[in-house]
Amino acid sequence: MTLRDALAAGTFSVTAELNPPADPVAEPVRRTAAQLKGLVAAANVTDNAAATVKVAPLAAATWMIEEGLEPIMQVTTRDRNIMALQSELLAAWALGVRNILALSGDPLKVGKYADLATKVSDLDSLGLVRLIRQLNDGRLAAGETLGTPTGFYVASAMNPLVDTGEKIEAKIVAGTQFFQSNIVYDVPRFASWFAPLVEGGTVAGIPVLVGVMPPRSSRALEHMHKNIPGVEVDDATFARLAGLTGDEAKEAGVAVAADVITALREVPGVSGVHIMAPGWEAEAVTRVVHATGLEASTI
């Protein structure tokens, strides 16, 4: 069952994140993809996340497909003009990629390339969603007709506590078909923010996968709480990681993520979760999925 089919059927779905390496080698991606296969419905392959240079997501997505793991290929507008974006998308479709997460990309200042690279601003993430909808309709940006239209399943990012209903509605009007959200720890706070979107019909028929990150330290929680807009870590979560390091911290982080997922399953309108665990993807996702008993929902 594809991710699109699972979400259409109302299955509570799990996706994860797979970060390509900087070294031009396939083995790390293949190994992680093989471990995630059967645990998640699909996995995001990131696109130069944190404005750092990594193997192109299209190559990593192709390796994932060969290992039997469905990719959600992230595409950022930061690094490509409108011609390059279309070429990348057409190549992705030709190689079997069926899901795209449209993003603007992290600011260059967060990485090492602020003085070396030029930010490309032909489109923002909303413009990219519109562009993909054109490709799905069989048209390129300059009006050319495609003999073989694409049929991408298009996702946008959702930033809890920060995004307004108007912003989310604009993404849906542009062509967004499902959302993946930023990280959530304080589920009651998220539920209060999310309820008007559900009750008002803004996300009716639009699946929402909520971001979950198993923390490995109090320091990681502190960083997210202070530096990532929309991420609020409650006092109880800080307390569960306080003073822990190494394997004890990992164990506590997995338990935190499992509890967040259990709570999110009770929130109306939540279609699933997106697990992010940079640096220990396969281990963390495996442990969290097993802890929550969600294996069956990904088959």
In this prediction, residue 220 carries a pLDDT of: 87
User: What's the Cα-to-Cα distance from 43 to each of 29, 36, 260, rounded to whole Å?
Assistant: 11, 8, 20
Q: What is the pTM of this model?
A: 0.95
Q: H or E segment at 183?
A: strand 178-183
pLDDT attached to residue 141: 98
Q: What is the 3-state secondary structure (H, E, C) of 45-75?
A: ECCCHHHCCCCCHHHHHHHHHHCCCCEEEEE
CATH numbers and ranges of domains, the chain:
3-298 (3.20.20.220)
pLDDT at residue number 294: 87
Q: Are strands 13-18 and 272-275 parallel, antiparallel or unpaired?
A: parallel
Q: How far apart are CA 137 and CA 282, in angstroms?
A: 37
Rounded CA separation 241/181 (Å): 23
Q: Which residues pair with 44 in a beta bridge?
A: 17, 72
- What was the pLDDT predicted at 226? 85
Of 186, 278, 288, 164, give the one whose Cα is nearest residue 231.
186
What is the Cα–Cα distance from 274 to 16, expressed in whole angstroms?
Answer: 5
One pLDDT digit (tens) per residue for the chain, 299 residues: 999 999 999 999 999 999 999 999 999 999 999 999 999 999 999 999 989 999 999 999 999 999 999 999 999 999 999 999 999 999 999 999 999 999 999 899 989 999 999 999 899 999 999 999 999 999 999 999 999 999 999 999 999 999 999 999 999 999 999 999 999 999 999 999 999 999 999 999 999 999 999 999 888 899 888 878 778 898 999 999 999 999 999 999 999 999 999 999 999 999 999 999 988 999 999 999 999 998 756 54
Give the count of beta carbons closer than 10 Å to the beta carbon of residue 210.
25
